[in-house]
Amino acid sequence: EDKVVQSPLSLVVHEGDTVTLNCSYEVTNFRSLLWYKQEKKAPTFLFMLTSSGIEKKSGRLSSILDKKELFSILNITATQTGDSAVYLCAVEPHNTDKLIFGTGTRLQVFP
Amino acid sequence: DSGVTQTPKHLITATGQRVTLRCSPRSGDLSVYWYQQSLDQGLQFLIQYYNGEERAKGNILERFSAQQFPDLHSELNLSSLELGDSALYFCASSVGTGFGYTFGSGTRLTVV
């Protein structure tokens, strides 16, 4: 059965710290891996990764995919209180339009 | 505003009742997806429609049904509601496979 596992489940840090969130997957016919940030309601899109070893970057956030070891990491540098959220990892298999989500990592950033 | 509109935002109803959740996709998006997010669970895929036709089905209960109309809006019907159906229900839309998904702000359903 296809599955996505995220770790840690929860993370508490101080502003300015750097965090790494992990996502491993077991999916038949992998197409892409996506990261979302969920604050109070709707998940908002961060990155879509399809190729191994190519880092995607947006400001203080970056992500990379390893298709051989079946995992991805999301890095956030110089964290701010506004980064507090649940970060969701999802995988999209080929030949299907659904996303398989992990349960998320809850990040809390304190001043 | 993501461009995906879900109504209502909140819904409180009694067990055994039936409710309808509505979703208008982003302009130009042909695919609509429904997800359920319960406490302590990730987003669970329910069902997908593409241009009016059912495309994929997840772990959707038989008490639940959905449809997509010619104007591409979609409705998720939940019947014989149980306490365990209390959750956030998200709709997402996409222009097509592999182009990412945009989520609406969700409908919080509380069954009492």
Closest chain A residue to the Cα of B3, Cα to Cα: A42
Cα–Cα distance measured from residue A64 to residue A99, given in angstroms and rounded to the nearest whole number: 19
Q: What is the largest CA-CA distance in chain A?
A: 45
A26-66 pLDDT, tens digit per residue, is 998 899 999 999 998 889 999 999 988 889 999 999 999 99
Cα–Cα distance measured from residue B7 to residue B10, given in angstroms and rounded to the nearest whole number: 8
Per-residue model confidence (pLDDT) at position A58: 94
B67-112 pLDDT, tens digit per residue, is 999 999 999 999 999 999 999 999 999 887 666 789 999 999 999 9
B42 vs A101: CB contact, 8 Å cut-off?
A: yes
B4 interaction partners in chain A (CB closer than 8 Å)? 42
What the block records as the tokens of B3 is 């461009």
Q: Which of B97, B102, B108, B109 is the best substitution to test chain A (most A C-beta atoms within 10 A)? A: B97
Per-residue model confidence (pLDDT) at position A96: 76
Closest chain B residue to the Cα of A103, Cα to Cα: B42
Closest chain B residue to the Cα of A47, Cα to Cα: B100
Closest chain B residue to the Cα of A90, Cα to Cα: B43
CB pairs under 8 A between A and B: 60
Q: What is the mean pLDDT of chain B?
A: 92
Banded model confidence at residue A94, pLDDT cuts 50, 70, 90: confident
B105 interaction partners in chain A (CB closer than 8 Å)? 41-42
* Amino acid (1-letter code) at residue B93: S
Q: What is the mean pLDDT of chain A?
A: 93
Q: Which of B31, B35, B43 sits opposite A97 (nearest CB)?
A: B31
B43-66 pLDDT, tens digit per residue, is 999 999 999 999 989 989 999 999
Cα–Cα distance measured from residue B5 to residue A93, given in angstroms and rounded to the nearest whole number: 26
Strands B64-68 and B53-57, bridge-based pairing: unpaired
Cα–Cα distance measured from residue B3 to residue B16, given in angstroms and rounded to the nearest whole number: 33
A43 vs B98: CB contact, 8 Å cut-off?
A: no
Using alpha carbons, list the distances in angstroms from residue B96 to A31, A59, A107, B55: 14, 27, 31, 12
B103 vs A100: CB contact, 8 Å cut-off?
A: no
Q: What integer is the mean pLDDT of A3-22?
A: 96
Cα–Cα distance measured from residue A98 to residue A29, given in angstroms and rounded to the nearest whole number: 13
Peptide bond into B8 cis (omega under 30): yes
B98 vs A103: CB contact, 8 Å cut-off?
A: no
